[in-house]
Structures are given as structure tokens and as C-alpha cells.
């Protein structure tokens, strides 16, 4: 198989995994908000459901760590892509935050 095609397949799965983690973090955070709202709506003590909330907080923390690990994996795979000699950007249409510029090849220069 052509390297660029294989790299593109991996990049697509990487992006899907990152998006899945983000979506799961959103769902878990919304669950926490719903738990708090439900407790208030039922006029229950703050200690009611505290053990469940603590477990949910642990799960959200673990998801945050997983997301950070995936960001690191993304960076490592980008370096591997360059070492393989695949110089084109395969995916990543999302805007990057300020200060995060795409990797530039030293043998390329801007023109125009």
C-alpha cells in the first residue's frame, strides 16, 4: 500500500478517537450538571448522592487524562508521518489555537 494512503487511514481514526473523547467528556459533564440540578429540584441534602458524584468526577478526570494522552499521541504520530516522508497534511481542518502552527518542513519556503 502507498504510505500516504496508510497514513491517511491512521489519521482519520486518530481524529475520530479525539472527537469521541471530546463528546464523551461533554456527556459526562452534562450528567454532572443534571445530577446537581436533580438534587436541587428534589430539595435533597448535598450529601445525598455524593458517592456517585465522586465516582463521576473520577471518571471525568480519567477522561481528561485520556484526552491529554491522545493529544500527545497526535503529536507523536505527526512526527512519525514526517519521518516516513509523508509531507502533506492529511486531515485537521479544525482551527488550531494561537501559537500552535502546523509543522513546516525545513526544505520548503513561503512564496508570494
Q: Quick one: cell of 30? A: 452534562
Per-residue pLDDT, 92? 55
pTM summary value: 0.74
Q: What share of the chain is helix, strand, coil (3-state, %, to 5)?
A: 65, 0, 35
Per-residue pLDDT, 98? 61
**CB-CB contact of 63 with 21 (8 Å):** yes
**CB-CB contact of 105 with 21 (8 Å):** no
User: 109 pLDDT exceeds 80?
Assistant: no
Amino acid at each position: 500500500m502507498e504510505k500516504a494512503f496508510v497514513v491517511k487511514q491512521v489519521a482519520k481514526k486518530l481524529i475520530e478517537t479525539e472527537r469521541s473523547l471530546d463528546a464523551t467528556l461533554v456527556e459526562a459533564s452534562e450528567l454532572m450538571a443534571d445530577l446537581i440540578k436533580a438534587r436541587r429540584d428534589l430539595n435533597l441534602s448535598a450529601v445525598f448522592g455524593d458517592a456517585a458524584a465522586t465516582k463521576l468526577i473520577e471518571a471525568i478526570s480519567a477522561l481528561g487524562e485520556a484526552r491529554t494522552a491522545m493529544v500527545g499521541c497526535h503529536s507523536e504520530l505527526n512526527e512519525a508521518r514526517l519521518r516516513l516522508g509523508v509531507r502533506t497534511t492529511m486531515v485537521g481542518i479544525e482551527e488550531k489555537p494561537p501559537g500552535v502552527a502546523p509543522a513546516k518542513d525545513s526544505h520548503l519556503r513561503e512564496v508570494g
